[in-house]
Amino acid sequence: MIDVEDLISLVHNYNPRTDEDLIRRAYAYGREMHAGQLRRSGEEYFMHPVAVAAILTEQRLDDAAIVTALLHDTIEDTKSTFSEIERLFGREVAELVDGVTKLTNLQLASNETKQAENFRKLFMAMSKDLRVILVKLADRLHNMRTIKSLPPEKQVRKSHETMDIYAPLAGRMGMQWMREELEDLAFRVLNPEARNSIIRRFITLQRESGDVIQQITQDIRKELDREGIEADVFGRAKKPYSIWRKMEEKGQGFSRLSDIYGFRVITQTEGDCYRVLGAIHQRWRAVPGRFKDYISQPKSNGYRSIQTTVSGRDGKRVEVQIRTRQMHEVAESGVAAHWSYRDGVRASNPFAVDPAKWLASLTERFETEDHDEFLEHVKLEMYSDQVFCFSPKGDVVKLPRGATPLDYAYAIHTRIGDSCVGAKVDGIRVPLWTRLKNGQSVEIITAEGQRPQATWIDIVVTGRAKAAIRKSLREEDRERYIKLGRELARVAFEHLGKKATDKALRTAAKTFGLSSSAELLARLGSAELRAQDVVEALYPELANTTGDEIDATRAVIGLSPDESFTRAPCCQPVPGERIVGITYRGRGVIVHAIDCPVLEKFEEQPDRWVDLHWHSGKHPAVHNVGFLLTIRNDAGVLGRICTLIGEQKANISDLEFVDKKPDFYRLLVQVDLRDVEHLHTVMTALEAESDVAEIERYRNPERAM
């Protein structure tokens, strides 16, 4: 365990003005509070807070952060309290320790709904002081470095949590070194065989081809010396997990994976960065599509660097990052560079990002109440790299890798995204699902009256675009459901000889505990409520409330006990419609709708007419009715139509294509229904569907019995 004087020495190296007494008091207090506590490894527990503090000294953080690291487990694991830490070490330290404690208590490995809520809490804690998450990340890093002492099942859980949450968060904050180490430590637990395999292959490669890193480093230095450029050159092999991820993404074996080495060139000035780039590209062939200039277009976390990949010695691909010393410091520390100290004063690095602005840019896209959406947006933003596109006026728009013109449109304004009908990239009309590339100019074409389509959800990648599209679709669905619900209510009320007045609907809404009649109608339209339930709630004495279904063979009143009936196939009458019977010798009574044209044949035979009507009450869905539908000829349309009918609790008993054209289909669908209310429900739902051009009830006099 590092003793207090060694820890102070580490801080003193970058901050000679450090408050040594404060650190000594915090060290002594933490050690006293954790006295007698042991880690699972058997070591004194206090060695962990000290190791966390030492990690933070590598980032040259201020005294408050170092003291917080020493005390970060005291409130949770000892008899210490917030008020006591505030009294001994000040309000700033007490709030930081409390913030780390709250983060520690979040159960981030739970189910996804809770995980989304935990992300919200995590961002809330970060928003107060970002140093809270810096201490937490250092805490997680040391725990992962010493994870072997934990039981195997806990190692796996912690490693998944690290890979899913903490490593991407470190990367998003610009602390790439920490992200890579966290990923590799988790990879060691989750897939040790794959990691060991990659390490063995590295050893074999080095034995076969020598020290490639040293050779390429010398090659780069020679080129820079020839151009008279002063710069430091460093090379390294990429981490096993980074290589494994590339193998998985590209579907290639290790032997075919070329860019497994990375090199950094640290220059004196920004101008030298571009001179280095020129020297490297003159000497080696650049790999197309692998050049990024984050100096002219920095990342939101302050990262600046020129990145290029070239075919180096023996055709091996190598990645080269070129940046100045100040850019390098921010690239290593990320957002943490804001608190960095040098020679006792806060470092005045012009590239360090204001943490408050960075956090605002990270969270502005997460303004949604849906847990699943929120979690999806968080993960999208965590893992994203960026592309930079230009507006027609030359403004720069930052987007995640894989973004489309629709993402670009929503990044400008929700109104632009909602009304988007097309896009031009570099002056050429392109489909909306086109993936944008760095440096492209994008122009959005809009049209009044355009609304987001459901298919757009699968096209966009940004959280902001997905949230806006879903919100618009929900609003559009609500309007459609209200319209459908109003028609269903009208039919149900008229069936009892009543009218669906605004007052009646408001009363019904109150009965069901709903806020308004519009909410009642929306639920009727979305099938969350049945129109029958609404009328029964208002008029129980008129409606059938027994819940017993009427026997379909005895559904008609007016027949003698020994007479049977059959529904006429020409008009297919259903309960609730006015009917009349025609007697046939040996065939019983055929029931027709009162407006069936076939009845004209029997005008001169009044003795065959039987006055009939349907039983009032709940009929089973066994009454077959035909619909003639004209629908758009497009992928998935027929499936959606069938699903829509099923959602209305109606069964399709037969389906026949009447006509097929390039643009549309005409088909006859036979559906089993309960009654006339059910009939209107299905027809109204189909009429409201945008892919249905026309619908009519099918009646065929030629099918008369």
Domain ranges of the chain: 4-190, 194-346, 472-538, 552-614, 623-703
According to the model, what pLDDT value does residue 113 have? Answer: 45
Query: What homologous superfamily does CATH list for 194-346?
Result: Beta Polymerase, domain 2 (3.30.460.10)
Q: Is the pLDDT of residue 211 over 90?
A: no
Kindly calculate the radius of gyration of the chain based on its CA atoms and give it in whole angstroms.
36
What is the Cα–Cα distance from 309 to 311, expressed in whole angstroms? 7
| Under 8 Å between Cβ of 351 and 302 | yes
Q: What is the mean pLDDT of residues 516-523?
A: 88
Angle between the N-to-C axes of helices 676-688 and 637-647, in degrees from 0 to 180, rounded to the nearest 10? 150
According to the model, what pLDDT value does residue 564 have? Answer: 86
DSSP 8-state symbol, 313: G
Q: Which residues of 418-429 are buried (b: 16+ CB within 10 A; e: fewer)?
A: bbbeebebeeee
Spatial CB neighbours of 106, under 8 Å, sequence gap ≥ 6 = 118, 121, 122
Q: Is the pLDDT of residue 424 over 80?
A: yes
According to the model, what pLDDT value does residue 319 have? Answer: 87
Q: What is the mean pLDDT of residues 171-190?
A: 88
DSSP 591-636: EEETT-GGGGGGTT-GGGEEEEEEPSSB--S-EEEEEEEEEE-STT
According to the model, what pLDDT value does residue 176 have? Answer: 83
> Which of 112-126, 316-330, 558-572 is predicted least confidently?
112-126
Q: What are the percentages of helix, strand and coil residues in the chain, rounded to 5?
A: 50, 20, 30
> Which of 1-15, 61-75, 161-175, 644-658 is predicted least confidently?
161-175
Per-residue confidence at 386, pLDDT binned at 50, 70, 90? low
What is the Cα–Cα distance from 553 to 555, expressed in whole angstroms? 6
According to the model, what pLDDT value does residue 369 have? Answer: 46
According to the model, what pLDDT value does residue 112 have? Answer: 47
- Beta-sheet pairing, 428-430 with 345-346: unpaired
According to the model, what pLDDT value does residue 109 have? Answer: 45
What is the Cα–Cα distance from 271 to 481, expressed in whole angstroms? 62
Q: The domain 623-703 is classified under which CATH number: 2.115.10.20, 1.10.357.10, 3.40.640.10, 3.30.70.260?
A: 3.30.70.260
In one-letter notation, the amino acid at residue 463 is: G
Top-confidence residue, 375 or 614: 614
Per-residue pLDDT tens digits for 449-465: 888 887 898 889 888 88
> Which of 56-70, 145-159, 179-193, 311-325 is predicted least confidently?
311-325
According to the model, what pLDDT value does residue 209 have? Answer: 63
pTM of the model: 0.53
Q: Is the pLDDT of residue 654 over 80?
A: yes
| Under 8 Å between Cβ of 521 and 490 | no
Top-confidence residue, 209 or 37: 37
Spatial CB neighbours of 457, under 8 Å, sequence gap ≥ 6 = 466, 469, 470
What is the Cα–Cα distance from 401 to 379, expressed in whole angstroms? 14
What is the Cα–Cα distance from 601 to 582, expressed in whole angstroms? 11
DSSP 8-state symbol, 585: T
Give how far Cα 523 sits from Cα of 315, 483, 514, 585, 611, Å: 65, 11, 10, 49, 38
Q: Is the pLDDT of residue 276 over 60?
A: yes
HEC string for 272-287: HHHHHHHHHHHHCEEC
Give how far Cα 188 sits from Cα of 109, 156, 185, 192, 194, Å: 19, 10, 5, 5, 9
The token pair at 467 is: 């949230």
Per-residue pLDDT tens digits for 540-594: 666 554 456 788 888 898 888 778 899 999 999 999 888 999 998 877 899 999 8
Spatial CB neighbours of 459, under 8 Å, sequence gap ≥ 6 = 404, 406, 432, 433
| Under 8 Å between Cβ of 223 and 279 | yes
According to the model, what pLDDT value does residue 121 have? Answer: 57
Per-residue confidence at 368, pLDDT binned at 50, 70, 90? very low
Top-confidence residue, 349 or 304: 304
According to the model, what pLDDT value does residue 125 have? Answer: 58
What is the Cα–Cα distance from 355 to 492, expressed in whole angstroms? 59
Q: Is the pLDDT of residue 124 over 70?
A: no
Per-residue confidence at 423, pLDDT binned at 50, 70, 90? very high
Per-residue pLDDT tens digits for 216-243: 889 899 999 999 999 999 988 778 888 8
According to the model, what pLDDT value does residue 567 have? Answer: 93
The token pair at 495 is: 């069936």
| φ, ψ of residue 109 in degrees (nearest 5) | -100, 15
The single residue of 77, 92, 332, 672 carrying the catalytic annotation is 77
Q: Which fold has domain 4-190?
A: Hypothetical protein af1432 (1.10.3210)
List 376's β-bridge partners, or say none: none
Identical fold, 4-190 and 623-703: no
Q: Is the pLDDT of residue 59 over 70?
A: yes
According to the model, what pLDDT value does residue 110 have? Answer: 42
Query: Own/partner pairs for 407-411, CB < 8 Å, 24+ apart?
Result: 407/436, 407/460, 407/461, 407/462, 407/464, 407/465, 408/436, 408/442, 408/444, 409/444, 409/465, 410/460, 410/462, 410/464, 410/465, 410/468, 410/469, 411/462, 411/464, 411/465
Per-residue confidence at 383, pLDDT binned at 50, 70, 90? very low
Question: Does 77 participate in catalysis according to the annotation?
Answer: yes
DSSP 411-463: HH-HHHHHTEEEEEETTEEE-TTPPP-TT-BEEEEE-TT----GGGGGT--SH
Strand, coil or helix: 325: helix
Per-residue confidence at 604, pLDDT binned at 50, 70, 90? confident
The single residue of 19, 20, 58, 76 carrying the catalytic annotation is 76
> Which of 18-32, 42-56, 166-180, 660-674 is predicted least confidently?
166-180
Per-residue pLDDT tens digits for 472-486: 877 777 888 888 888
Kindly report the average pLDDT of the chain as a whole number. 83
What is the Cα–Cα distance from 59 to 47, expressed in whole angstroms? 19
What is the Cα–Cα distance from 277 to 97, expressed in whole angstroms? 45
According to the model, what pLDDT value does residue 585 have? Answer: 80
According to the model, what pLDDT value does residue 314 have? Answer: 65
Question: Does 193 participate in catalysis according to the annotation?
Answer: no
What is the Cα–Cα distance from 650 to 684, expressed in whole angstroms? 13
Q: What is the mean pLDDT of residues 309-328?
A: 83
HEC string for 48-106: HHHHHHHHHHHCCCCHHHHHHHHHCCHHHHCCCCHHHHHHHHCHHHHHHHHHHHHHHCC
